Structure 1
Amino acid sequence: MGRAGGAERGTTERVLTLLGLLQQHPVRTGPELAERLGVTPRTIRRDVERLRALGYPVHADQGVGGGYRLGPGRNLPPLLLDDSEAIATAVALLAGAVDDTGDAALRALTKLDRVLPARLRHDVRALSGAVESFGGGRAPVDPEVLMTLARACRDEVEAGFDYPSGDELRRRRVEPYRLVAADRRWYLLGYDLDRADWRSFRVDRMRGVAARTWRFRPRAAPDAATYVQEAVASRAYRHRARFLVHAPADTVRAQVPASAAVVRSAGSGRCEVVSGADSLDFVLMHVVLLGHDFEVVEPPELGERCRVLAERLRSAGTRQ
């Protein structure tokens, strides 16, 4: 019984390896496959028949340049992916899930989750559960870095990395909470242990990312996507401005990139717009160009800038 079971597992593993080899290269000869798998050409022919019985359209071409090739077919089962390919695919799908192809990407990610081995499914679910988003998304970072941070979020263990501070890199220790996909970048929301405060970090700026062994008890955390969006749109700038715009929030959100401003409904067909800039005139003109009536809420000096710019525009319009 034990030998039979072992032989069956060996045959299954060999057939799956054969399938992987056929997926990696357009044509493989029988002797080449036999050498790669350490079996006879006769065994390869038998394994090919097993694949055909499972619904894989394996064709055998004769003559010079001939060999076995895997053809297209309606019932072709999912491709075999190694660990790194599966993780990279999950990262790409998650990036697509916050882009214009969101629904299709989420369906594909769900299918991927069903066919992955248990060890990889756990990691991909960790990444899925640790990701939030606002706006469109891309993933221009090392998938292994994302997985390291996602696992740290899942396992509630500290993470360490080097991060720019002025002109130098400094080691940061954080309790990681969530990964956030925002426009072209990925961010980590975490509690900075050295600064005793919540911070957002750009993943592409991190160096030497590593999960630590120290576990932490989760704190009451802010909403990850909202916190990072506010950080990207306003807190990173010299000036932070707040306006009351006389237009529905959905209308204004369609006009303003998520990374440029936070838009909240204020009821009665109005909304609050929070944005930041290094120049008050710059943020003011962007709100003017929305084409809606608005009021300045803060800072007080922005109201004075409105009056100065209004007089400048009025004067320009009356000149001959």
Structure 2
Amino acid sequence: MADLPTGLKRVLVIKLGALGDFVQAMGPFQAIRTALPQAEITLLTTKPFAGLAERSGWFDRVWVDSRPRGPLGYLALRNRLRGGGFDMVFDLQTSDRSALYWWLMWPGRPYLSGIAPGASHPHDNPARDRMHTLDRQRDQLARAGIADVPMPNAAWMNADLSSLALPQRFGLLVPGGAPHRPEKRWPADRYAALATRWAAGGLTPVLIGTAADAEWTSAIAAACPDALDLTGRTDLLQLASLARRAEIAVGNDTGPMHLAAVAGCRCVVLYSHASDPKLCGQKGPQVTILRVPNLTGLNEMDVLAACTALA
């Protein structure tokens, strides 16, 4: 274990990836801010999360990663990184891409918490690839001298929901997922069957998703007219606020379910063989992981039973 360098004035945090990656890094973000209250902290992230990062209060500056292409693009990025005058980099992405960004800062590269060869504070735990993301990041920061890393917390994420005409009682259904990973999605007709049972019991199903999920959410809404379809109508702050008000959320292994979990919503998350919750599973006060080899073999009564057990 190494000590956190003293006198750090300018710090760069790198976290790219999707929503789930950002949500799971919120604890480390907070820990770095708390450990370095006087430092100017810059986050390098992807465009969808820049506004959220600015709202969080953990960062003084937020840079959007343009994913450079060609020599001129990398030269521009190198000039920007070197111009930042950073004393230390916390590479929470720990990918070849983020390691390269640190290497681009030669000569005079700053301290690095990460896995790139030559890192001053290497995360060299041989078990790192078998650790849950939260445990891995906590271990990485401990080896850099930051021992107190809280769980991700979305209490700061608040938004006005008055325009959504929400019913008094509702549950969230999150049927989305990456189009190229259909094995991670519970079939739409099963979501529809669950929605129908919720509605019959007085709980309004509220469908959450982006425009890319519209084919699925439209099918569910058509099969369950009592459902409220908010596809494409909510931003991330509204999603966190919805999760706090919802009685329960059911969804696939997706970023919105990570956010619902840390917002404190009771969550049932559906997994197949395609992903391992031991490495990336949603964490929160009340989360049930329901994993089966193939989601096509999971019926709505099994999911309803999991929901009831959380009550």
Q: TM-score, normalised by structure 2?
A: 0.24
The structure with the largest strand share of the pair is 1
Give the structure with higher Rg (CA): 1
